[in-house]
Structure 1
Amino acid sequence: MDVSMTSRCPGLYCGRLLVNGSVEGECGVCPRGERANQEKVCERCDESPELYDWLYLGFMAMLPLVLHWFFIERFSGKKSSSALLQHVTAALECSVSALVTLLLTEPVGLLSIRSCRVQMLSDWYTMLYNPSPDYVHTLHCTQEAVYPLYTIVLIYYAFCLVMMMLLRPLLVKKIACGLGKSDRFRSIYAALYFFPILAVLQAVGGGLLYYAFPYIILVLSLVTLAVYMSVSKIQSFKTLVAKKKRLVVLFSHWLLHAYAIISISLLDKLEVALPLLALVPGPTLFYIATAKFTEPSRILSEGSSGP
């Protein structure tokens, strides 16, 4: 049967199965890994993710790692020598989890994935677009129209949690002897809270994050850099390069700035990504140039000397 001659299914995501060149069955949900095309026939997702899709996955993969590092630094203690090893272990856990997730995603065994192209925001929320042709019965066509960008993140979080539970408790118990028993596993306890939160965030707001993550990275990286430089009392290049840790923090934020700029350029289909990367050091230079004018002691002294 000619596909173009079949009756079209209602709704945005309902389709019929195509078997041996013929359209069969009633309108309904397409199998996982397929999506209804313009003729409302389920079609296998054989496209490769775009660069912007990979950057989105990279952002979602960075979230648990950044949270791990934050809570490790928060609960490791000022005199603890275990923080660096825990940081490395957290990075290893997330890296192995990402590798295993990619290998288990179709095509299995390869570090590549096949996907359906994201066309609009509604692709992430197909459950909200189940049609009711007779206004009485609802035709359920909920599916992963953005396969596998929705579920691959949840699978990755599951592997991160399993890897953490396998590796971190033994490591912390061995190297964190300088901490009290109640403090040793605080970073692990924190992860048991933020992983469910990240899963819910992906399940509910995955589509919004897909379009907003470049701006989230840019704003948060600018704010955290300004706060860090303010707390560290960095007001000149001399104080900036005085400690290696400060340079590591600075270059990490610069990488995030560049990541966000490239993502925004791809999202808005701009062709000026490379020239915009020259603006990456701009916030740092602006902060150092204007820090002396916002010094609280100077402002108070000038205020007290006034009329």
Structure 2
Amino acid sequence: MADRGWGEMAVDIQPACLGLYCGRTVEIINGTEIHGNCGVCPRGQRTDDQKICRQCEGSPERYDWLYLGFMAMLPLILHWFFIEWYSGKKSSSAVFQHATALIECSVAAVVTLLVSSPLGSLQIRSCKVKMLSDWYTMLYNPSPDYVTTIHCTHEAVYPLYTIVFIYYAFCLVLMMLLRPLLVKKIACGLGKSDRFKSIYAALYFFPILTVLQAVGGGLLYYAFPYIILVLSLVTLAVYMSASEVDTFKDLLVRKKRLIVLFSHWLLHAYGIVSISKLNYQDLPLLALVPAPALFYLLTAKYTEPTRILAEGANGH
């Protein structure tokens, strides 16, 4: 009993770990927790309030899933944009390439969930995000004597940071396996130099997305609902202006315009749902989804450049 008391006292008088994210690892020996030295927590663990490394056993919150959904949508949206950009009216193969991109990203998302802990399940274990600094633990390594740095960098937001990189890797591999064969067979309306331009574009934007996640993952986590709303509003206005859509009749002329409109409405709804975090009392805000498009169509005739110039000339 005395020995046990001295053992417990030895644990209690251990100096506190320095820094925000340094912790003591735990080993269970004969039913007793034995705490190690202060240092970095193993992958899949983070420090608790007592600076002890604890296993991540929680599940992602709804907002976390919405963030992962946003990061999963980015490659798909960019795929669709560049497929449409380089296909244009020259080829009828764009729809097949769109479908292939959707399959690639969907399969990559499922495989990423399956290989994450717990293996073979579509559910994942995670640690709770408490503050912005949780995403940037490498900036909080303590230096007690201002000379020696104690490295305690670990994934405090496990697995929200690294799972995005894994997903992008699977997207890239699946694209390289599937898309070239498809494009070579069905993109007959395009020249040889144009057939693979959407694939070349992906080889550029995947590294950009990777760097974006590595540097700005924490900022994106808190800001992505507002980024969705702003970008969807801007891109919708640019598209309708470039397509010379000024009336409701102009929308009905081509099915493609309706598809683009509904796609932007889905993005509007996703942004609103992300801001409200699926709180049911805020869901009536979804009624505002068509408002930007309706406002544009109702006011487009008053902002027509030729009309403004004509009125200015008449005024003089």
TM-score (norm: length of structure 2):
0.93
Q: 1:29-40 to 2 correspondence within 5 Å?
A: 29-40=40-51
2:82 corresponds to which of 54, 63, 71: 71
Query: Given residue 99 of structure 1, which amino acid in structure 2 is its aligned partner?
Result: V
1:25 corresponds to which of 17, 30, 36: 36
Separation in structure 2 between the aligned mates of residue 105 and residue 29 of structure 1, nearest angstrom: 21
Q: Which moved more, 1:153-162 or 1:283-292?
A: 283-292
Query: Given residue 20 of structure 2, which amino acid in structure 1 is its aligned partner?
Result: L
Separation in structure 2 between the aligned mates of residue 179 and residue 237 of structure 1, nearest angstrom: 33
Contact kept? 2:44, 2:55, Cα under 8 Å:
yes
Separation in structure 2 between the aligned mates of residue 265 and residue 23 of structure 1, nearest angstrom: 43
Instruction: Kindly indicate whether residue 23 of structure 2 is the aligned counterpart of residue 15 of structure 1.
Output: yes
Separation in structure 2 between the aligned mates of residue 242 and residue 4 of structure 1, nearest angstrom: 75
Contact kept? 2:142, 2:149, Cα under 8 Å:
yes
Contact kept? 2:90, 2:190, Cα under 8 Å:
no
Cross-structure match for 1:212: 223
Cross-structure match for 1:252: 263
Cross-structure match for 1:122: 133
Q: Where does the alignment leave 5 or more consecutive residues of structure 2 unmatched? A: 1-6
Separation in structure 2 between the aligned mates of residue 198 and residue 138 of structure 1, nearest angstrom: 31
Query: Given residue 118 of structure 2, which amino acid in structure 1 is its aligned partner?
Result: P
Q: Where does the alignment leave 5 or more consecutive residues of structure 1 unmatched? A: none
Count of residues in correspondence between the two structures? 305
Separation in structure 1 between the aligned mates of residue 68 and residue 13 of structure 2, nearest angstrom: 39
Instruction: Give the 3-state SS of the residue equivalent to 1:18 in structure 2.
Output: strand
Cross-structure match for 1:285: 294
Query: Given residue 15 of structure 1, which amino acid in structure 2 is its aligned partner?
Result: G
CA RMSD of aligned residues (A): 1.6
Deviation at 1:14, TM superposition (A): 0.6
Q: 1:216-231 to 2 correspondence within 5 Å?
A: 216-231=227-242
Contact kept? 2:108, 2:171, Cα under 8 Å:
yes
Separation in structure 2 between the aligned mates of residue 236 and residue 119 of structure 1, nearest angstrom: 47
Instruction: Give the 3-state SS of the residue equivalent to 1:139 in structure 2.
Output: coil
The one-character-per-residue Cα deviations of 1:222-260 (angstroms, maximum 9, x if unpaired) are 001111111222222222222221111111111111111
Cross-structure match for 1:89: 100
The one-character-per-residue Cα deviations of 1:38-86 (angstroms, maximum 9, x if unpaired) are 0111000011001111111111111111111111111124220110000
Instruction: Give the 3-state SS of the residue equivalent to 1:60 in structure 2.
Output: helix
Cross-structure match for 2:307: 298
State the identity %: 73
Query: Given residue 276 of structure 1, which amino acid in structure 2 is its aligned partner?
Result: L
Instruction: Give the 3-state SS of the residue equivalent to 1:278 in structure 2.
Output: helix
Cross-structure match for 1:233: 244
TM-score (norm: length of structure 1):
0.95
The one-character-per-residue Cα deviations of 1:133-180 (angstroms, maximum 9, x if unpaired) are 233211100000000000000000000000000001111111112222
Separation in structure 2 between the aligned mates of residue 4 and residue 114 of structure 1, nearest angstrom: 30
Separation in structure 1 between the aligned mates of residue 88 and residue 249 of structure 2, nearest angstrom: 28
The structure having more radius of gyration, on CA atoms, is 2
The one-character-per-residue Cα deviations of 1:8-33 (angstroms, maximum 9, x if unpaired) are 21111111111114233210000000
Instruction: Kindly indicate whether residue 187 of structure 2 is the aligned counterpart of residue 176 of structure 1.
Output: yes
Query: Given residue 188 of structure 2, which amino acid in structure 1 is its aligned partner?
Result: C
Separation in structure 1 between the aligned mates of residue 245 and residue 188 of structure 2, nearest angstrom: 34
Cross-structure match for 1:275: 284
Separation in structure 2 between the aligned mates of residue 181 and residue 243 of structure 1, nearest angstrom: 29
Deviation at 1:272, TM superposition (A): 4.2
After superposing on structure 2, the runs of 4+ consecutive aligned residues of structure 1 that deviate more than 6 Å are: none
Q: Which moved more, 1:84-93 or 1:13-22?
A: 13-22
Q: Which moved more, 1:98-107 or 1:182-191?
A: 182-191
Contact kept? 1:23, 1:41, Cα under 8 Å:
no
Separation in structure 1 between the aligned mates of residue 237 and residue 86 of structure 2, nearest angstrom: 23
